[in-house]
Homo-oligomer: A and B are copies of this chain.
Amino acid sequence: MTVSSAESRNGNYPGKGIGEPVGVAILGKGTVGTEVLRLLAEFSDNLEHRIGGPIEVRGVAVSNLDKHKDAPEVDGIYLTDNARELIDRDDVDVVVELIGGIEYPRELVLEALKNGKSVVTANKALVAAHADELSDAANAAGVDLYYEAAVAAAIPVVGMLRRSLAGDQVQRISGIVNGTTNFILDAMATSGMSYEDALAEATRLGYAEADPTADVEGHDAASKAAILASMGFHTRVTYDDVYCEGITKITADDIEAAKQSNETIKLLAICERLLDDAGNTVGVNARVHPTLVANDHPLASVDKSYNAIFVEAEAAGRLMFYGNGAGGAPTASAVLGDLVGAARNKVHGGRAPAENPYANYEVVGFGEVHSRYHINMTVNDRVGVLADLARMFSQAGISLSAVRQEESDDGAHLIVVTHAAQERTLSEIVDALTNHADVQAINSVIRLDA
């Protein structure tokens, strides 16, 4: 392998050349695209200094020209409904993808990468589904693929996993990565309102979309969990690998019961390294589900629509990152940070560290991870029921950390909290309890953060 002269070893490569403009194509002009255009204008002098050359927006691709042509932020900027023609231009160096959806942006991003353009995307669904294909294309062309805005907007967790913890070993990532569901759960906890009322409030205030499915069913958080697990464990984890359970079944009673035990229910994305007894990694897992968090844990006090991500690494210990996880301006901040990185590399040479799945751990199914269950059931109020049910747990090898029984009009409420056991075993015992003659109803099953 040839080793170059000392001069060209590092830095000051003949790239675009210091001072030359970096051409940018922006695909999509929704909330984030509009904010990106506004900030590019406001910060242009600063960005030029930070990049080493000015950003020049070559055009903005939109689906409906009529809707945007009179908007002030595209004044003097080429507007087109032909995204392909825009990204194929020779004077475009970086493509910013802000369209949403998966298939159409996938084609555009692949085409851009293959043509030597670096790409910045905020599209979590795209990255969670196709990081492998996109990274391969970026690597083949020697260009950058950045997606900080795909996870928790301006909270720089992707950059942190990409770079800051590059000399460490990430053990676990757990976080609140969806603002809509955190707003709903927080509203329920603060006001005692039902899930339905809290969702209506979130919709009214613009925190939930007209169709809230992707948020409340946990799909959005699952995409982010896949991205975090892939970066953190150097293993390809896709959206389909992530167990996903949303918040639609959480009731005001669940929230109240959590309060009674000094806990808070949060929708957590959990990415975990599974170790054998000798401490060797046997696989990784990513999942999203409502989780009881002790009130003295920093994640418990993350309120409103804020996001927070907890990272545990071998040497660094516990780190937490907190901020706005959504919204036009915070997402645009992350997009612009990535754009400066990609543009800087076009001017100065070099590439950002790419997704790097060298470790290639087995992605372990959810049934094999260890969970703790908080089971709330209504049982017949007769002598011997508690002993009978306790024996079921014990025969399944599950030990209990707490049992609480309360009388009520329609039978007895029995609350059982287990120690950590394999998810599959816990799930089987819930099935068995459901079919037990003395169990009238399983009112809720909520996992505890281990």
Interface residues of A (CB under 8 A from B): 1-4, 6-20, 35, 39, 43, 46-47, 49-50, 116, 118, 142-144, 148, 153-156, 159-160, 163-169, 234, 298, 301, 313-324, 327, 329-330, 332-341, 344-346, 348-351, 353, 356, 358-359
Query: Contacts A329-B315, A339-B167, A356-B50: A11 and B350 contacting too (C-beta < 8 A)?
Result: yes
A11-B142, A330-B317 given; A341·B39 CB < 8 A: no
Most buried by B among A2, A144, A321, A335: A321
Given A1-B20, A160-B160, A317-B324, 16 more contacts at CB 8 Å?
Answer: A3-B16, A4-B15, A7-B142, A9-B116, A10-B345, A10-B350, A11-B349, A12-B351, A154-B168, A154-B317, A159-B163, A165-B333, A168-B337, A301-B301, A313-B333, A314-B329
Nearest-CB distance from A438 to chain B (Å)? 45
Most buried by B among A13, A20, A335: A13
The answer to whether B323 touches A319 (Cβ under 8 A) is yes
On whether the beta carbons of B344 and A353 are closer than 8 Å, the reply is yes
Pairwise interchain contact B337-A164, C-beta atoms closer than 8 A: yes
User: Are the C-beta atoms of B330 and A315 separated by less than 8 Å?
Assistant: yes
Residues of B within 8 A of A6 (CB): 116
A153 to B316, CA, bound (A): 8
**A313: which of B143, B154, B166 is its contact (CB, 8 Å)?**
B154
Residue of B nearest to A332 (CB): B315
Would you call A322 and B319 a contact (CB within 8 A)?
A: yes
B3→A17 contact, CB < 8 A: yes
- Given A316-B329, A316-B333, A18 contacting B1 (CB threshold 8 A): yes
Q: A3-B20, A323-B316, A350-B348 are in contact. Are A168 and B333 (CB under 8 A)?
A: yes
- Complex Cα distance A251/B323, Å? 34
Task: Give Cα A164 to B350, complex, Å.
Answer: 17
- B324→A321 contact, CB < 8 A: no
Inter-chain contacts of A11 with B (CB < 8 A): 142-144, 345, 349-351
Please list the 3 inter-chain residue pairs (A to B) with the smallest Cβ-Cβ separation, ordered nearest first.
A350-B350, A167-B336, A11-B142
- Residues of the B chain whose Cβ atoms lie less than 8 Å from the Cβ of A317: 154, 323-324, 327, 329-330
Contact B349 A10 (CB under 8 A): yes
Contacts of A9 in B (CB 8 A): 15-16, 116, 142, 346, 349
Given A11-B351, A15-B10, A329-B317, are A166 and B340 also a contact pair (CB < 8 Å)? yes
Question: Are B19 and A154 in contact, CB atoms less than 8 angstroms apart?
Answer: no
**Cα distance A438–B78 when bound, in Å?**
72
Q: How far is the CB of A49 from chain B (nearest CB, A)?
A: 4
Using CB atoms, name the residue of chain B closest to A153. B316
A46 to B346, CA, bound (A): 28
Q: What's the minimum C-beta distance from A185 to chain B, rounded to whole angstroms?
A: 19
Q: Using known A-B contacts A39-B315, A317-B154, determine if residue A166 contacts B341 with beta carbons closer than 8 Å.
A: yes
Taking CB atoms, residues of chain B closer than 8 Å to A17 are 1-3
**Are the CB atoms of A318 and B313 closer together than 8 Å?**
no
Question: Which of A12, A116, A316, A356 counts the most B-chain CB atoms under 10 A from its CB?
Answer: A316
User: A13 contacts B349, CB within 8 Å?
Assistant: yes
B residues near A15, Cβ cutoff 8 Å? 3-4, 9-10
CB-defined contacts of A43 to chain B, threshold 8 Å: 167-169
B333 touches A324 (CB 8 A): no
Contact partner, A1, options B13, B19, B159, B351, Cβ 8 Å: B19
- CB-CB < 8 A to A301: which residues of B? 301
Q: How far is the CA of A316 from the CA of B349 in the complex (A)?
A: 27
Beta-carbon nearest neighbor of A166 in chain B:
B340
Can you list 16 contacts pairing A with B, beta carbon distance less than 8 Å? A1-B19, A6-B116, A7-B142, A13-B13, A46-B359, A49-B356, A50-B234, A159-B163, A163-B340, A164-B334, A166-B340, A167-B335, A314-B329, A316-B334, A318-B323, A345-B350
